[in-house]
Amino acid sequence: MAKGDMGNQQVLILPEGSSRVLGRDAQRTNIAVAYAVASAIRTTLGPKGMDKMLVSELGDIVITNDGVTILEEMNVEHPAAKIMVEIAKTQDKEVGDGTTTAAMLGGELLKNAGALLDQGIHASTIVNGYKLAAQEATKHLNEISKKVSLDDTASLEKIAVISMGSKSVGAGTSKDHLAKLVVKAIKQVAEKIEGKVVVDTDFIKVEKKEGGEIDDTEYISGVLVDKEIVHSGMPKLIEDAKIALIDGAIEIEKTEVDAKIEITSPKQMGQFLEQEEKMLKDMVEKIRKSGANVVFCQKGIDDLAQHYLAKVNISAVRRVKKSDMEKLAKATGARIVTSLEGLGPKDLGFAGVVREKKVAGEQMVYVEKCKDPKSVTIFVRASTSHVVSEGERAVKDCIGAVSSAVEDGSYVTGGGSVEMDLANHLRKYASSVGGREQLAITAFAEALEIVPKTLAESAGMDAIDTLVALRSKHEKAGVKSLGVNVYKAEVADMEALGVIEPTKVKKQAIASASEAAEMLLRIDDMISSKGRPSGAGGMPGGMPGGMGGMGMD
**Partners of residue 57 on adjacent β-strands:** none
Write out the E strands in 146-293: 146-147, 191-193, 196-198, 204-210, 218-220, 223-225, 237-246
Catalytic residue at 60?
no
Can you list the positions of beta strands (E) in 108-255? Answer: 146-147, 191-193, 196-198, 204-210, 218-220, 223-225, 237-246
Give just the sign of the alpha carbon dihedral 292, 293, 298, 299.
positive
3-state helix, strand, coil in the chain (%, to 5): 50, 20, 30
Q: Which residue from 208, 468, 240 is spatially nearest to 364, judged by alpha carbons?
A: 208
CA 184 vs CA 23, 217, 309, 389: distances in Å: 54, 13, 36, 21
Q: How many CA atoms lie within 13 A of 424 on its CB side?
A: 21
DSSP 8-state class, residue 353: E
- Of 90, 99, 454, 466, which is the active-site residue? 99
Residue 359 burial (CB < 10 Å; 0-12/13-18/19+)?
middle
- Catalytic annotation, pick one of 51, 397, 413, 421: 397
Q: Is 25 noted as a catalytic residue in this protein?
A: no
Q: Are 457 and 463 in contact (CB under 8 A)?
A: yes
For the chain, the distance separating the N- and C-terminal CA atoms, rounded to the nearest angstrom, is 29
Write down the catalytic residue from 44, 69, 100, 101: 100
Angle CA 191–192–197, to nearest 5: 85
Q: Known catalytic residue: 125?
A: no
- 8 A C-beta contact, residue 364 and residue 400: no
User: CA 100 to CA 513: how far, in whole Å?
Assistant: 11
Q: How far is CA 76 from the centre of its chain?
A: 19
> Quick check: is 100 catalytic?
yes
For 457, residues 6+ apart whose C-beta sits below 8 A from its C-beta are 463
Q: What's 188's DSSP letter?
A: H
Please tell me whether residue 470 adopts helix, strand or coil conformation.
helix
Which helix (H) or strand (E) segment holds residue 377: the answer is strand 376-382
The residues carrying an active-site annotation are: 66, 99-100, 397
